[in-house]
Structure formats: structure tokens, C-alpha cells
Amino acid sequence: MPRSTLICYGELLLRLGAPGRQTLLQTPALEVHVGGAEANVAVSLARMGHRVGMAGTVADNALGAHALGELRRHGVDTRHVRVAPGRMGLYFLETGAGHRPSDVLYDRADSAFTRAAALDWAACLEGARWLHLSGVTPALGDACAQAAIEAAEAAVAAGVQVSFDGNFRAKLWEAWDSDPPAILRRLMATATVLFADHRDMAVVLGADCDAADVAGKVVQAAGHAFEAFPRLRYFACTQRVQHDVDHHELSAMLVERDGRVHATPVHALRNVVDRIGGGDAFAAGVLHGLLEEAPAGEALQFGLAAACLKHSIPGDFNLVGRGDVEHFLSAEGFHVRR
């Protein structure tokens, strides 16, 4: 099998969700999906035709085997995912309705991944052009934070470009004696592409973004990021307005180091099926554009279209291909494709 163009590093998870819009254990049944921020990106890019590999560790049991099988089913190379004693990380999802928001309950402590986070990065990165990481991994504990930093710095040393998604998870950081700004600064300093917004820069850099509107705040945040991180070339994020759990409006911005600002139109998302993984779908879409050497504005449009489509698909993975996203962008409407 040829080497992967892009490697995603992080924890594979099982998501246990209450059926429909029920509260957890309202009835004694749970729906199971495989997910994880980095795995979501890997699956999206593989389905768009890229050579993508996953790196990490899963439990040496039927749950770990199932998670690996799901990645392989979607075309992701798993040669760098180790199998080790321990448990799979879990999270429980209660999907909201109307004005009741969705809620996540994590059960990830002492998983096989957190117990064996470090990998042989010379082997994992051989032949790769990109490494994708997110802020979820360092939030899992000191060993995971050090492993993520080691991965990112090994990529820089090997001439591999780093994509980093801030993905700030307060519940995970608060579970241990952590220093999120210091850890995230080291990781963001390695990135060519940073998926973050003005709230992330407030946490990581203590940056004051006081513009009158969100777009202005994003431009200010990007400026702070470019000043702090000399390797950074692209700063991208989505903007979401929620009228209720089922009705959102989504748009996106990308700022380049030279000051060029790209923005998308606003898309109305009504009857949202599942928003989990939407940000990962956006990141994957933008990375797809960059891997295809598309102009930054086109990469942004593709990323937002992928994110919009993800909201129509149950589960963490965005099960669309390049053609589906291109059809969305063509504005050909919603007629049945025959």
C-alpha cells in the first residue's frame, strides 16, 4: 500500500447516543457510532480520494477491532494504529431538541490511547506531506499533551506541514492539572493551517479582539496568530448562528498571512440531523482544497459546503464524496439525481 499523503493523529472513540431526541437512558438503548475529531477528518479526506493514514492506539478487544474496521471501510490506512491492552475511550451523546441543547458526557480516562500515546514518528511520517492534529488530544492529560507536541515538532523537523484544529474542550482540560495556553501555544507554533477563532486566541494568547462584529474579531484574531506563530500561513474558522437546535446559519472565513481575507455566504441549515463532526468536515474540506492546490478562497468554499452537508448525516463521519460537495456548490437544487 502506498504511503499516506496526510496523517491524522488522535484517539478513536465510540459514541453512544440516546435514540432520536431522547435523554440518556430514557429507554435502555444506545446507538453506536465510531468517531473522534482526527478520525473524522481522516474519513472525510479518504472519501474525497486522498491517501490518508490514521495514527494512534486502540484497545485490543472487539471494540478496538470494530473501530479500525470502520476506518478501513472508508479507505483510511491504519498501519500506524497500534493495538494495546486497555479500554476504548467513549462518549455519550444526548441530542437536544428545540431549545434544549445537546449534551456530551465523556468516559475517556485511562483508555488504551491515553496509556500509550507516544509513537515512532519517523516511521509514521515517512512519505507524508501533512500531519493533522487537534486540541482534543493534549486535553486528555499530560502524557497525551507531550505526545501531541512530540508529533507536531517531529513533523516540522521532517519538513511535513502541520494542520491544527483548536477544538477546545473545557470538560477535558478541567479534569487534570493542565495549562491549556502554554500547551496549545507550542502546538499552534508548528502549524501551517490553524482552525481557530477569536475565542481560541483569547484563551491561548490572551488576545483582545474588540471589533464591533464577528468578522472583525476574526481578522483581529488572525493578526494576533500570525504575529505569534511565524510558520502560520492560513487562519480559518466557521461562524454559527443558532436559532434553535434544529435551525442554524453557517458561514466561514479564512485569512492569509499576506492579509487577504476570504468569506463565504451564509447558508441556512434547517432540520439539522447531526452537528457532531461539522467542524471536522470543514477542516477536511479546506485541507482537500489545499492538497489540490486550489486558491484559498475556493478551499474555504469547499470546506463550508462539506460542513453544511455533514449536518444532514447521522454519526461523526461525513459520508459524502467530492462529487457531493461539488453538487452542493453548483446550486443545482434538490431534485433527485437519477
Q: What residue type is 129 in one-letter code?
A: R
User: What is 146-161 written as a DSSP string?
Assistant: HHHHHHHHHHHHTT-E
Question: For the residues 308-320, what does the mean pLDDT come to?
Answer: 97
User: What is 221-263 written as a DSSP string?
Assistant: HHHHHHHH-TT--EEEEEEEEEEETTEEEEEEEEEETTS-EEE
Continuous segment of H or E residues that includes residue 133: strand 130-134
How far apart are alpha carbons 64 and 50 in whole angstroms? 24
pLDDT in tens, 60-90: 999 999 999 999 999 999 999 999 999 999 9
Q: Which of 77, 165, 274, 280 is catalytic?
A: 280
| CATH code assigned to 13-321 | 3.40.1190.20
How far apart are alpha carbons 78 and 130 in whole angstroms? 16
Would you say residue 336 has pLDDT above 60? no
Weakest mean pLDDT among 19-28, 313-322, 327-336:
327-336
Query: Is 142 tagged catalytic?
Result: no
> Predicted confidence band at 207 (pLDDT cuts at 50, 70, 90)?
confident
Q: What three-state secondary structure class fits 211?
A: coil
Using DSSP bridges, classify how beta strands 234-244 and 247-256 pair: parallel, antiparallel or unpaired.
Answer: antiparallel
Average pLDDT taken over every residue of the chain: 95
pLDDT in tens, 115-171: 987 899 999 999 999 999 999 999 999 999 999 999 999 999 999 999 999 999 999
